[in-house]
Structure 1
Amino acid sequence: MTVNSICRFCIFTGATLWLLCSSILMASDKIEIVKDKTPMADIIIMENAPGSIRLAAKELQEYIKKISGAELTVGDKENSGKKYHIYVGESPFTKKLNFSTTDLKIDGFKILSGNNWLILAGRDYLGKPIFFPPGNNSREAQKDLLKKWQNFAGEKWNFSSLVSYKFYNKELDLGTTGETGTLFAVYDFLEMLGVRWYMPYEDGTVVPEMKDIHIAENLNIRKEPVFELRDFTFIYPHEDKEGLLWYKRLKLGRPYIFWCCHSINLVTQFQKETHPEYFATINGKLDLDGCKGFGRPRLGSPELKQAMIKYAQMFFKAYPEQQFFSVFPPDSFSMMCEKDVAAGMETPERGNRGKMSDYIWGFVNDVAKEIEKSNPGKYVTCGAYSGAFLPPLKIDKLNKNVSVTLCRTLIDGWNPESLKERKDVVEEWLKKISSGSFYIWDYYLYHRDKDMPGVPVVFLKLMQDEARELAGKCKGKFIEATRSQGKIAYPGLNHLTYYIQSKLYWDVNLDMNKLLDEYCEKFHGPAKDEMKKFFTTAEEIWMRPEARKISKVGGFLKKEDVKKYFEILDAALKKAGENNVYARRISMIKKECRPMKEFFDKLERTGGNIKAMHISEKPAINGILDEKAWNENVITYKMKTVDKSKQPENETIVKLRWLMPARGLLIGVECKDRNMKNIKAQNNKKDSSDIFKDDVIEIYLETQNVSYYKIVINPNGAVYDECTGYGEGGLDWDSKAEVAITRNEDSWYAEIFIPLSSMKGNVPSEAYPWGINICRTSSGEKETELSAICPTGKKQFLDLQKMGNMFLK
């Protein structure tokens, strides 16, 4: 019996499935597990078995009963009244049969049978439940652990809660971390019998009915995952037992503790007064509040580097069993210390995804070199993320103990340019890595975005292409997925994607069409054809090379698509019949799609009318705003705070003109500021994301053809412009804006001309207006203030629905 033959068997359906099942599991030389609904075998586990093996035995027992009605006994001794025995996990009994799992790779398992026995066993973690640091099993415990860590280290450092109580379920005595090969062997065997765990929670499982369960005496199956680490963060196991069971039934897992997350802040967080040299200087001041309040580290600081090395050494001294130590800047680390910039540590020519690569990876590499000396065999990890997404140029090869996690998103693969870049970046990183330790961190967070409510997101071919691309190159993949109150969000819409991704972790060469056919037949029964049409249609729509931002003027999803989705689902419900499991499953999907029905109606802009008075003579663009164009026959718009809770501390007045004939938009902005001496204006570079740390004016425009253009201007006159419309260039788009800035004691002024020739669209009219919002970020005396001419009702500027309708007057 080969692994491949089992894999082929598993994806056939109907009569073919039964014939294959019969030839494999009901051979003439057979082991009888159940005969005519009567148990013929028992289940044997080791004495004092750990939680995962006890669960494996219980799952086997319960599902055999669901399939046949027969309940097999579970114990650590053979039942002399039973002719046949099922050994779950290694034990003295399997040892007598010369069975071993030592030759298996991580999380691997074997399914073997002989004269009167069946072994379902794999590599297992046999110790106590894994928490890290040890004892991290409650909120209260975390406080005590911090004190103990600081006493041990002799430094006021924070610690990382790598495996907390949230990732362990007490009732199951099981967490997401640790090898569970035996549990996977049981689930694989149950899948051989026809069980499918397509979806979590109620109605998610398919269980066949059989009065007899026989298996061949010569089974010899060995399976190992293609990827060691196979993780989804779609649950908090401590409060979602069923979600954790589904996670394991899909053969997902974190076989070992892998630490690669934001960590440099662990050294700096409590050191703002004692070690100011650890922190970056921005606008002439130490940035102690940046990076979400942790303070912005200065990676060019020799003192910080030494502190990081010492932290790593103390970490491995405290926890010598650990293999990985993370040296990863805090989140929102998008600006460098101005002293390090002056020293030439930045590479701005590489753009926003590479300008900090040599800066960050140089720091990581230096720490790794010292750890190689003091702690040989240990790895130093970091994520290729944000400004360090691209590989460094000044480092030919990373030190042999550096592990890289590439943070990217597969769902952007609908864009051919993004798809090519994603593949190219993997190959570039592999040339830099000496350790062979390479991982992927992905983001399946599409349903977290309110701009995509109820939209089916299906990209099965992309998933398989990526799995094949990474096989043999990548050790594992983390997928950050949307949760809802600690549980899996939108299980009806997301279950198929998660299910197939989990299968690809073990076999990258699955026949996807047969797998989808089997799913539709088993899970949707009489409505199998309609539901296959639903998912294939969803994949076609998602893979359209158009912007993900759905607006009045564009985006991958069209109003007619929504109608089509519901027509397919209604037809499927009709085929499914009433009051049965198939109807309930389809109804769940339809319910989760329901917000899509109202989405296009909600795209009508609610920001009111914004009138641009036309002129025929262009004023001098000098930032003074004293010409006739700005003072005669012009409408004034005053900004309000974005949440409308109060009047802005710093008043902002906006005036709009349209230069005829069809030449472009003129914008004049007066920004009053009570704190002009401390105005934030550091950036002087074109298209630098650093501009968002300054006081800025942000202009959002949606023409009749493109959604949307964004132009950002700071008090230095620096410009950041981009277009999110598909194929419009992104950050490469050039608004060709003419910008002039002036300042006085209590205000700064911006005069802007944006030529129509730089955009796609017609002159805005009352019948075909443009969407517009003009917004301001200002540093108030107490807090940063956000204001806009069309308030969004939340602390952010981008909301296409809240835009105003701009037209000529």
Structure 2
Amino acid sequence: PGRDPKKTIPARDMLLWWLRVKLGGEPWHANHSVYSYFDRFGESNPDWFADGKPARGAHLCYTHPGFLAQHAQDARDYFDGKYPTMQFPKGGQVMGAGDYYPAVPIDSSSGWCSCPRCKALLDVSQPIAENTPGAEFFNGRYSEYVWTFANAVAREVRKTHPNKWISTCAYARYFLPPRNVKLEPNISVCVTKQVMLYAHPASKKYFNDTLRAWHKRVGELYIWEYYLNQYFSKFCAFPWITPHLIAEDIAFLKTVGVVGKFVETSPWKSRRGNMAEDLLPVYVTAKLLVDDSRGVDEILDEHYRLFYGPAAAPMKAFFEKMEAAWLAHGEVFAHKASGQRRSWEIMCPPAKLKEFHEHIVKALALATDDPYATRVRLMNEAIYKPMEKHCLEYAERNKSRRSLACPLLTTPPTVDGKLDDPAWKQAARTQPLVGMTMEKVEVDTIAYVGRDDKMLYVAFDCPEPHMDKIVATHNKPDSLDVCLDDDVEVFVDVGRTRQQYYHFLINPNGTMADRAVGMGLDAHGIGWNSGAKVAVARAENGWTVELAIPLEAMKAAPKPGEVWGFNACRVRRGGVKDHHGQATCWSPTFGGFNTPDEFGALIMAQSEKSDSVGQTPQPVVELAFEDETASDSSRVSTGGRASAKLDRSRDGKPWDASCRVQGKSGFGCAFDPAAKRYITVNFPEDLGLPRGDFTVMFWFKTATEADQCLLASTTTAPFWLMNLSRVKDKRLLRFMLATEPPTVAANADAPPADDQWHHVAVTLDRGKLATLHVDGEPRDSVDISKHKGALKNVMTVGGPYSHFSGCMDTLQVYQGALTPPQVR
């Protein structure tokens, strides 16, 4: 209903295509099977529901004898043909297909029954695999519990229908086989998985080992595969098109007895999603499931030739580049980088986007006649154009990281939930919270932050036009179910490790959960207790929160200039259209809240000043080179925030007046490699550069193509270094960084050695990218997300590891990673 029939593929054509590619097979089904129970039994049998509380979408008590008997009876009635319309009399779809009837819980990983029977099984958990992308979702946390339920249904049905199957899913927290349940022979298992994660070796091994384990336990094995890259990003991610990865996986599936595969693609607005993006993955899947005697390259070459005609070569190059980007960056799944950052900073930054553009332009030029011209235009409009849009929008939105100066409060606030204390006027005030990808929302939530010598204080002002609809059902402290309510959330990464952080969740009842993530506690870090004070006040048009977190609990003693990671977030559930809720945050994460690489910077202010940091960039250190250089003891001005001295190697020549020369503006500094002179700059601790983001830029000119050092912060880890060097007969400007091995490098074509002034800059967005700029333009970036350690508070200019030959002028150091327009 509501669809334009002219834009709908006729059913006959669709069925013919299914037949042609041999999709389908024996009727089979496995999915969440108990959603109908609230309408059917909510009033008559409330004790069948989790903790005796029936609700739509609530879990059942999966050990209750009455519920188990009814579920087995539902299966028998289906097999006996009692539901020809496939609807239960009191409502709800009958979930069977052919000889299969499913036994799968409600689709939720929380809200399980806590009765003694259920709790005993829920407490038998399997550890979550470490350093394995995907294992946080696909694990065995509740395998004993769920498989005990499915097994009990299968046992009863087998007594009356021995030739029928109970189908169920190895999914989410019951993905791994149970350790203590001997499965009935009439259980058919559908293993859910995500092949797109296989670009990471640990994930590939984890999923394949799990399939081998299931193969040993059950007689029939199916796959539910998620081709869902775009669904969770709302079609804003880099396309997942990896036919070779799919082919390798299908070959493996046949070795472990898999008899069928269901593919879930990304639906959006219409249930069809982006068919152009799904074409290659689904086509290759269908071809290889039917006949794997042909190699995937043979299938692909035939497809490119027949589908794109004269444009086959550039379209093949287009899609091969796409797959190569996924396979080359499997490590991005190992850290909690957002999907948007993975897509548009790592796999396809603007510089790489240009390469895709070149291929699609060639294809458009070659495909002049139909049907090939229409097909290439489809790929341009449905794949390349969205890539271009989202890549450039992300680059524009993400130009600068959010930052706040956290002031010392003269008088601490009274924690009563009301924001009427003078302290909140003195505190730092965030910009209004925005959606996860920086979209504006209809209410302006504001957070405040300040500190004294004992506490970190955070407050929220949460306007709410639908106070009568807010969700606040949880009153149990330290339960992560608080996040199922309307709530506010605070994230504090002391020292900006990007690996460990403290997380606070507070709902409108004032119920709080706090946890320490990545610190070796339980799986969710919920065992940590902060001792924080919290209070909430409700009003007619909103609610407010005050939170006081003891610094001692976070093992923190902040010093002026110290940089922490920080985010303030809110989820609205009542009064919003999206049933998932409306998530907002101060520092956009472009994904989930728990993404420490995307936290903003909280800089410990030296005083009571609470201005936001970095709104108008000003250098914190500047070497203008206007001073005399008559001797080694000559003064070197730095703008007052650092100390610098004229230095030289042991066999170097003393500084003299010849080093002071005409600069880009005023005077500059001349460096002679034979004299082995350099400048040493020592940064004060309160600048926060060792763990913070920073930018260094300067003017230079040289007439030699010899290898030479421009800037350095030692050469033993942790270090960074900028030099001019020749690599494989190519002269490069290089920036190298290592807080732990291996060293990473950004490489840009060096400015010509023409004895003319050129401007260079390096921006370090810690946890993200280091970017080299040459003459005002970004030229190359390198992922530095793994280099989270502290650097040193020292920088040398012009040496001493290899000495610079030329002149420098106006060297500036900024807090924060400046954007390209700011560098220009």
The interval holding the TM-score normalised by the smaller chain is 0.5 to 0.7
Deviation at 1:750, TM superposition (A): 3.0
User: Residue 405 of structure 2 contacts residue 602 of structure 2 at CA under 8 Å; is this kept in 1?
Assistant: no
Is the partner of 2:250 in helix, strand or coil?
Answer: helix
Is the partner of 1:265 in helix, strand or coil?
Answer: coil
- Aligned pairs for 1:48-447 (under 5 A) are 239-253=10-24, 255-281=25-51, 286-289=53-56, 291=57, 295-318=58-81, 322-332=98-108, 334-340=110-116, 343-347=119-123, 348=125, 350=127, 353-395=139-181, 397-433=182-218, 436-447=219-230
Which of 490, 496, 504 is the matching residue for 2:280? Answer: 496
Residue type at the aligned position of 1:248: L
- Residue in 1 that maps onto 2:319: 535
Residue type at the aligned position of 2:184: N
Is the partner of 1:391 in helix, strand or coil?
Answer: coil
Structure 1's unaligned 5+ residue stretches are 1-138, 140-165, 172-200, 203-235
- Residue in 2 that maps onto 1:459: 242
Residue type at the aligned position of 1:301: H
Across the aligned residues of Structure 1 and Structure 2, the Cα RMSD in angstroms comes to 5.4
Residue type at the aligned position of 1:410: V
- Distance between the aligned counterparts of 2:239 and 2:580, measured in 1? 38
User: Residue 46 of structure 2 contacts residue 54 of structure 2 at CA under 8 Å; is this kept in 1?
Assistant: no
Change (3 A) 1:665 1:412: farther
Change (3 A) 1:424 1:515: same
Change (3 A) 1:340 1:567: farther
Change (3 A) 1:778 1:569: closer
User: Residue 167 of structure 2 contacts residue 188 of structure 2 at CA under 8 Å; is this kept in 1?
Assistant: yes
- Residue in 2 that maps onto 1:589: 379
Correspondence 1:525 to 2:295: no
Structure 2's unaligned 5+ residue stretches are 84-96, 129-136, 539-544, 604-611, 614-824
Correspondence 1:561 to 2:352: yes
User: Residue 164 of structure 2 contacts residue 186 of structure 2 at CA under 8 Å; is this kept in 1?
Assistant: yes
Which of 506, 513, 516 is the matching residue for 1:718? Answer: 513
- Distance between the aligned counterparts of 1:804 and 1:789, measured in 2? 10
Residue type at the aligned position of 2:43: E
Change (3 A) 1:777 1:522: closer
Is the partner of 1:329 in helix, strand or coil?
Answer: coil
Is the partner of 1:594 in helix, strand or coil?
Answer: helix
Residue type at the aligned position of 1:314: D
Change (3 A) 1:322 1:450: closer
C-alpha deviations, 1:668-724, integer Å up to 9, x for none?
A: 458899999975133636xx6x4533554334799999799894524554346779x
Deviation at 1:481, TM superposition (A): 1.7
Correspondence 1:549 to 2:339: yes
- Residue in 2 that maps onto 1:28: none
Change (3 A) 1:733 1:537: farther
User: Residue 230 of structure 2 contacts residue 239 of structure 2 at CA under 8 Å; is this kept in 1?
Assistant: no
Which of 606, 630, 633 is the matching residue for 2:426? Answer: 633
- Distance between the aligned counterparts of 2:267 and 2:472, measured in 1? 41
Change (3 A) 1:257 1:327: same
- Distance between the aligned counterparts of 2:531 and 2:352, measured in 1? 45
Which structure exhibits the higher relative contact order, with contacts defined as CA atoms closer than 8 Å and separated by 6 or more residues?
A: 1
Change (3 A) 1:763 1:551: farther
- Distance between the aligned counterparts of 1:538 and 1:795, measured in 2? 22
Is the partner of 1:247 in helix, strand or coil?
Answer: helix
Is the partner of 1:476 in helix, strand or coil?
Answer: strand
C-alpha deviations, 1:625-644, integer Å up to 9, x for none?
A: 99999557313459789798
- Residue in 2 that maps onto 1:751: 548
- Distance between the aligned counterparts of 1:624 and 1:564, measured in 2? 57
Deviation at 1:476, TM superposition (A): 0.4
- Distance between the aligned counterparts of 1:781 and 1:573, measured in 2? 43
- Residue in 1 that maps onto 2:806: none
User: Residue 380 of structure 1 contacts residue 403 of structure 1 at CA under 8 Å; is this kept in 2?
Assistant: yes
Correspondence 1:613 to 2:378: no
Deviation at 1:430, TM superposition (A): 2.2
User: Residue 637 of structure 1 contacts residue 789 of structure 1 at CA under 8 Å; is this kept in 2?
Assistant: no
- Distance between the aligned counterparts of 1:790 and 1:252, measured in 2? 46
- Distance between the aligned counterparts of 1:729 and 1:621, measured in 2? 33
- Distance between the aligned counterparts of 1:484 and 1:641, measured in 2? 22
Is the partner of 1:448 in helix, strand or coil?
Answer: coil
Residue type at the aligned position of 2:449: L
Deviation at 1:530, TM superposition (A): 2.0
Correspondence 1:655 to 2:452: no
Is the partner of 1:264 in helix, strand or coil?
Answer: coil
Change (3 A) 1:731 1:313: same
Deviation at 1:599, TM superposition (A): 1.6
- Distance between the aligned counterparts of 2:276 and 2:420, measured in 1? 60
Change (3 A) 1:712 1:554: farther
More helix as a share of residues: 1
- Distance between the aligned counterparts of 2:16 and 2:284, measured in 1? 17
Deviation at 1:407, TM superposition (A): 1.3
- Distance between the aligned counterparts of 2:446 and 2:229, measured in 1? 37
- Distance between the aligned counterparts of 2:153 and 2:482, measured in 1? 30
Task: Among all aligned residue pairs of Structure 1 and Structure 2, give the percentage whose two residues are the same amino acid.
Answer: 20
User: Residue 62 of structure 2 contacts residue 118 of structure 2 at CA under 8 Å; is this kept in 1?
Assistant: no
- Residue in 1 that maps onto 2:542: none
C-alpha deviations, 1:253-272, integer Å up to 9, x for none?
A: 1x222121111223443221
Is the partner of 1:330 in helix, strand or coil?
Answer: coil
User: Residue 150 of structure 2 contacts residue 168 of structure 2 at CA under 8 Å; is this kept in 1?
Assistant: yes
User: Residue 267 of structure 1 contacts residue 308 of structure 1 at CA under 8 Å; is this kept in 2?
Assistant: no
- Distance between the aligned counterparts of 2:413 and 2:443, measured in 1? 30
